Structure 1
Amino acid sequence: MVDVVVIGAGQAGLSAAYHLRRRGFAPYEGFVVLDADPAPGGAWAHRSPSLRMATVHGFHDLPDFELPAPDPAAPAREVVPGYFAAYEAKHALPVVRPVRVRAVRPLPDGRLLVDTDAGQWSARALINATGTWTRPFLPHYPGRFAGRQLHYADYRGPEEFAGQRVVVVGGGASAVQVLSEVAAVAGTVWVTRRPPVYHDGPFTEEFGRAVVAQVEERVRLGLPVRSVVSVTGLGPSVAYRRAQELGALERRPMFDRLTEHGVAWGEHEERVDAVVWATGFRPEITHLAPLGLRGPGGGIRMDGTRAAADPRIHLVGYGPSASTIGANRAGRAAVNGIVGLLGEPAMAVR
C-alpha cells in the first residue's frame, strides 16, 4: 500500500519519480516505480545497435543529473540505459523490476488496485509512463508478400539487407534513420502515405511551443494521440543529411497493395526483398481499460497530464509530453497535480 504507483521507468517515469522524492514521498512506502524490463533503459535498451548518439533524434537530460558528453559513435542503446541506471542509483529511486502490469482497477474505498505478474499494489494515485515502444503500429494493406516484413521496432541495422532491394514505409525520423543506413548497402524505395513535412528553420523554443500546442489540443479533445515528431517535420539531422547524400530521399506515394514479390501501384509492380514499416507506435495504455478513461473520440481526454475523467490518474510521456524534454516537464506537472490532490506527504521537509 503506497500513495503513488508509477508505471514505467523510462524518461517520463524517472522524471516523475525524481519529483515525487523531491516533494517528500518516501521510497517504497510513499511511492514505487514498476518497470517491465529486467534492467534500466526503457525503450532505449531495445533500439537498433546501429543507432548512434550522433544520429539520435534529440535527447534531454533528466532533472538534476546531466548526461556526460558521450562519444558520438557510441550506440544509443548502451549510453542511455547506462545513464538511466546511474540516475536511479544517484537518486535512490524505488524501481522494482521486472514487473509487468496487467490491469489497474478502482477499489470501493477510493484507492486503485494495480494488478501485476509480481503481485498487487494499492495506491491513492497513479502516474502512467509506459510510453509506446511495446505497441508498434502496422497498417494493413491488401495482398500478400512472400519476402520479409518487419517493423522499425525490430530493425537491427543495415547489414542483413546488404545487396537487397528494400521498401521503407513512413515519413518520420525513424524512416530517415533506416534509409540513411540501408541505402549505403542496398537499393531502397521510400514511400509515405502523405508528402513528408519538412522544417527548414531552426527548432526554436517558440516553434517547440507551437508544436506541443497542436498535439495538446488533440488530447484535450480526447482524440487519438499524434506524436510530437509527426508535427515537427523532418529537419537537417545527421541521418537526414546522410540519406540525402545517398540519394535515398526521393519519396514515392504509398503503394496500393502488396504482391508476392514486392509492392504495386496500379499495374506497376516493384520487386523487392523486404519491407521495413517505420510507421510509428501507439500509446501502451491497455492496462488502464478497467478505469474507463477512453472517450467517444477514441483517446483519453486530458487536462494537462491529468486524465479528465479521473483526477487520480496522470499520463506522462503521452501526447505532448512524448519527447525527452516534454517527459521531464510532464513528470514535474504530474507530481504537482498529485500533491494538489493528496496534499503534502507527512515526511515532506519544509
Structure 2
Amino acid sequence: MTQGVDVVVIGGGQAGLAAGYHLRRLGLSFVILDAQATPGGAWQHTWDSLHLFSPAAHSSLPGRLMPPQPGETYPDAAHVVDYLTDYEQRYELPVVRPVRVEAVLRDGQFLRVETDSGTWRARAVTSATGTWSRPFIPAIPGRAEFEGRQLHTVEYRRASDFAGQRVVVVGDGNSGAQIAADLAHDTDLTWVTLREPRYLADDIDGRALFDAATARRRALDEGRTDTGGVASLGDIVAVPPVREARDAGLLKAQPMFDRLTAGAVAWADGTRAEADVIIWCTGFRPALAHLAPLGLRGPRGHIPTRGTEALGEPRLHLLGYGDWTGPASATLIGVGRPARDAARQIAGLLGAV
C-alpha cells in the first residue's frame, strides 16, 4: 500500500519535530516517520549523568519553551525526553513509529520513501535522522587483539558499571570529557586525547556556542573572514561535573596511544596502560544510508547542500546533522531556524506560498 503526502520527514527527534512544527504552520500535509519505538529521539539512549550545556529556556524548540527542571540549572536527558514527548503531543504532530526508512528514490515528480511497513510518495522529503545511530570508532592497530571490553559513547550508561576497573576513555570532545569525569572517582581512569584538551571559559554555555556558530555562518555567507565559530572558543564546555573533576586534578589527559595489545593500550615509546575497558568517545557519522539511491554523496560522506537543500535534488532537505545543514542545527536551540527555512523553501517549491 502506498500513501501520499506533500512532505515526508524522516526522523522523529528534535530536528524532525522542529520541521513538523513549521510545516504545520504553512498548511502542508506531512508525516514524520520515526524509527524509535517511543518519543525522545537519541536523548532516550544517552548516559544517565548527561546534562544540557544551557538552561532550559535556552534549549527550546520553536513555539514552546522548555520548562525548567526543579533543582537543576542545566536539565538532564530525561527532562529533555519529557519535553520532546510533550512537544509532539502539544502540536499533534503526525508521528508514525516505529517505522524504519530503507530507501528514498526518485519517482517522476515524486520522491518514493520505502520503509519496513509500507511506501510513501511525497513531493518533498526532509531527512532528520541525525548521527546517533552511526557511531564512529577509528581503525587503531591491534583493536582486534584487545581481550577486554570495547564500547562507544552510545553504549555507556553509568559509572557504577565500571567501579574498580581499569578504564581508558578516548576522546577530546565533550562526550570524552564528561564520561571521563563521570568515571574519575570510582575507576582506575586513563583519559586519552588526540590533542591537549581545550576547555571553554567556565562561564560559557550553549547560548554562547549558538551565537558563535551563527556569527560564523553569517560571516561566511557575506564573504567575510571566517570567525572560526565554536572551534575558536575551545572543544570542551566546562559543565559542573567536568569542572569539578578537572579542578580536583582527576582529568589529566594522555596523548593518543599507538596500538592496542591483548590487555593494554601502548605508546611508541614503550609506555603501556593496562585496561579492562576502552570507551571510544570518538564521534559519529551522519546516518544517510537511506538516501544512497539518490546518488548525492560528496566529500566526507556528506551530501552537498545550500543551507538545508541538497544541491543535487531540490526536493530533499537535510536537517540537524551539524553546521553544514545550518548553524548549530544539531542542537535544540539551533535547529529551529534551519527548520523554518527548510519548510519555507519546500512550501515555495510546492507552490504553497
Whether TM exceeds 0.5 here: the answer is yes
Question: More displaced, 324-333 or 64-73?
Answer: 64-73
Question: Is this contact kept in 2: 1:126–1:313, CA < 8 A?
Answer: yes
Q: Give me the TM-score of the superposition, normalised by structure 1.
A: 0.87
Q: 2 CA distance for matches of 1:206 and 1:164?
A: 37
Residue deviations 1:79-103, cap 9 Å, x none?
2222111111111110000000001
Question: Is this contact kept in 2: 1:190–1:248, CA < 8 A?
Answer: no
Name the SS for the 2:257 alignment partner: coil
- Residue 258 of structure 1 pairs with residue 260 of structure 2: yes
- Residue 329 of structure 1 pairs with residue 332 of structure 2: no
| Identity, % of aligned positions | 48
Residue deviations 1:102-155, cap 9 Å, x none?
010001x22100000010000000111101110011111111211111101000
Q: 2 CA distance for matches of 1:229 and 1:48?
A: 25
Give 5+ residue unaligned stretches, structure 1.
Answer: 219-226, 346-350
Q: Give 1:35-74 correspondences, 5 Å limit.
A: 35-51=34-50, 55-58=51-54, 60-72=59-71
| Structure 1 residues 265 and 137, CA gap change in structure 2 (3 angstroms) | same
Residue deviations 1:28-77, cap 9 Å, x none?
xx1000000111000001112232xxx32346111111222113569834
Question: Is this contact kept in 2: 1:215–1:319, CA < 8 A?
Answer: no
Q: Residue 307 of structure 1 corresponds to which residue in structure 2? A: 310
Q: Residue 158 of structure 2 corresponds to which residue in structure 1? A: 157
Q: Give 1:286-301 correspondences, 5 Å limit.
A: 286-296=289-299, 298-301=301-304
Question: Is this contact kept in 2: 1:172–1:230, CA < 8 A?
Answer: no
Name the SS for the 2:213 alignment partner: helix
- For 2:266, give the aligned amino acid: A
Q: Residue 224 of structure 2 corresponds to which residue in structure 1? A: none
Q: 2 CA distance for matches of 1:186 and 1:204?
A: 29
Q: Residue 326 of structure 2 corresponds to which residue in structure 1? A: none
Question: Is this contact kept in 2: 1:263–1:270, CA < 8 A?
Answer: yes
Q: What's the CA shift for 1:182?
A: 0.6
Q: Give 1:78-117 correspondences, 5 Å limit.
A: 78-107=78-107, 109-117=108-116
| Structure 1 residues 192 and 67, CA gap change in structure 2 (3 angstroms) | same
Q: 1 CA distance for matches of 2:136 and 2:47?
A: 17
* Equivalent of residue 342 in structure 1, options 328, 346, 350: 350
| Structure 1 residues 205 and 261, CA gap change in structure 2 (3 angstroms) | closer
Q: What's the CA shift for 1:192?
A: 1.1
Give 5+ residue unaligned stretches, structure 2.
Answer: 221-228, 324-328
Give the number of equivalent residue pairs: 331
Question: Is this contact kept in 1: 2:309–2:342, CA < 8 A?
Answer: yes
Q: What's the CA shift for 1:195?
A: 2.6
- For 2:93, give the aligned amino acid: L
Name the SS for the 2:334 alignment partner: helix
Question: Is this contact kept in 1: 2:61–2:335, CA < 8 A?
Answer: no
Q: 2 CA distance for matches of 1:13 and 1:298?
A: 21
